[in-house]
Amino acid sequence: MSLKTLNRRNKKDLKWPKIIIAILSTIGIVDTGSITLKNWGLFTSLSCPGIQNNGCATVLNSPWGTLFENNQVNIPLSLAGFITYLSILVITIILSLNLISPKEKLNKFLWWSLFLISCASSTFSFLLINIMFLKIQAYCFFCILSAILSFSIFIISMIGAKFESREPMIFRGFIVAISVLLGGLIWSTNVDPSNAIDFASPPENVSPIITTTSSPQKVKFAKFLSENNIVMYSAYWCPHCHDQKQLFGKEAVKELKVVECAKDGKDNMYELCQTKGITGFPSWEINEEIISGTRDLNELATKTNYQGDLNF
């Protein structure tokens, strides 16, 4: 078949859905790629629009912000989003090259792939948005943007694919959505820190396990606080204390001077806390002044005159 004949047949294919999907997936790549680089410490500045100053940090550093981690490897959830958007963009570019006839099986396969990937992405994004508001109870602009992008691509893929029958589309989409939802719920339950609290707290009355990972900047800041005798007064049962430690991450918390104030807490210094007049948790002692409440790291840096890297 000549190239002119092939191009004439491809003109019947809708072009605008592919253009819009390419634009949306590119935005998604920038969105998730920036988060991933920030998590790895390769991207120093990432401001989060919105009313919560530390909303993005709270969400992205939560247990749900990481797929896998150990001492050598840290795979943030945003990396999965980056790969998803990159796959969608690659498929869209192939479809836009007009080298494949709309009637060929490969063309249909690519549209099915685009539809099912975006269906899975939309379902998982829906689950993450519910976790963000119901579990983490914080607002992250980048996460909401990704969810909007995923859902938009999903809708436009149905229009661009022009499936001959709705039944296969509904059936396959339903199977993918249910599979992703069930898998996502299992994953969410496994990483939920409240489950760790149930097992970790009763035996020795110790604080819940810190699940977030510290950036090098956070570790250096924690060392600075410790070296300058800045103390965090905490109680093992206090959820706000846990939130404060989660903002630092497990590596940085090891560098902090944390005093256990609960009378029945392990290795507690109850008498010292009473002498200092600690009534709320967490509390910070900065230059002999007691400041109560969970504090954003940048706020702590300002109050302690920290001159280091503030890109936490």
Best CA proximity match to 154, nearest among 77, 84, 79, 65:
84
* Order of strands, sheet of 231-234, starting from the edge strand that comes earlier in the sequence: 257-260, 231-234, 283-286, 289-292
Rounded to an integer, the average pLDDT of 280-299 is 91
8 pLDDT higher than 60: no
Q: Pick the range with the lowest mean pLDDT from 48-52, 102-106, 285-289, 307-311.
A: 48-52
**What residues pair up with 207 in beta bridges, in sequence order?**
none
Domain residue extents for the chain: 3-191, 202-303
Alpha helices in the chain (DSSP H): 3-10, 16-39, 55-60, 77-96, 105-131, 141-161, 166-191, 193-204, 216-227, 239-248, 250-253, 270-276, 297-303
276 pLDDT higher than 50: yes
Which band of pLDDT confidence, cut at 50, 70 and 90, is reported for residue 44? low
Share of the chain above pLDDT 70, in %: 88
pTM above 0.75, yes or no: no
**Digit-coded pLDDT (tens) for 78-89:** 999 999 999 999
Rounded to an integer, the average pLDDT of 200-229 is 85
> For position 198, what pLDDT does the model report?
45
> For position 93, what pLDDT does the model report?
95
Instruction: Give the strand pairing for 74-76 and 66-69.
Output: antiparallel
188 pLDDT higher than 60: yes
Which band of pLDDT confidence, cut at 50, 70 and 90, is reported for residue 126? very high
> For position 52, what pLDDT does the model report?
54
In angstroms, rounded to a whole number, what is the distance separating the alpha carbons of residues 265 and 169?
56
Rounded to an integer, the average pLDDT of 215-236 is 94
**Digit-coded pLDDT (tens) for 49-87:** 655 556 777 788 788 988 877 656 778 899 999 999 999
List b or e across 49-76, with b for residues whose CB sees 16 or more CB atoms inside 10 angstroms.
eeebebbbbbbbbbbbbbeeeeeeeeeb
The class that CATH gives domain 3-191 is mainly alpha
Q: Pick the range with the lowest mean pLDDT from 54-68, 118-132, 165-179.
A: 54-68
Which band of pLDDT confidence, cut at 50, 70 and 90, is reported for residue 125? very high
Which band of pLDDT confidence, cut at 50, 70 and 90, is reported for residue 180? very high
Rounded to an integer, the average pLDDT of 121-125 is 97
* Mean pLDDT for all residues in the chain: 86
Q: Which one has a higher pLDDT value, 88 or 137? A: 88
43 pLDDT higher than 70: no
In angstroms, rounded to a whole number, what is the distance separating the alpha carbons of residues 39 and 111?
33
- φ, ψ of residue 262 in degrees (nearest 5): -65, 130
The class that CATH gives domain 202-303 is alpha beta
Q: Pick the range with the lowest mean pLDDT from 29-33, 73-77, 120-124, 172-176.
A: 73-77
Amino acid at 289: E
> For position 97, what pLDDT does the model report?
87
176 pLDDT higher than 50: yes
Structure token digits, residue 215? 């950036």
Q: Which one has a higher pLDDT value, 59 or 269? A: 269
Which band of pLDDT confidence, cut at 50, 70 and 90, is reported for residue 6? very low
- φ, ψ of residue 179 in degrees (nearest 5): -65, -45
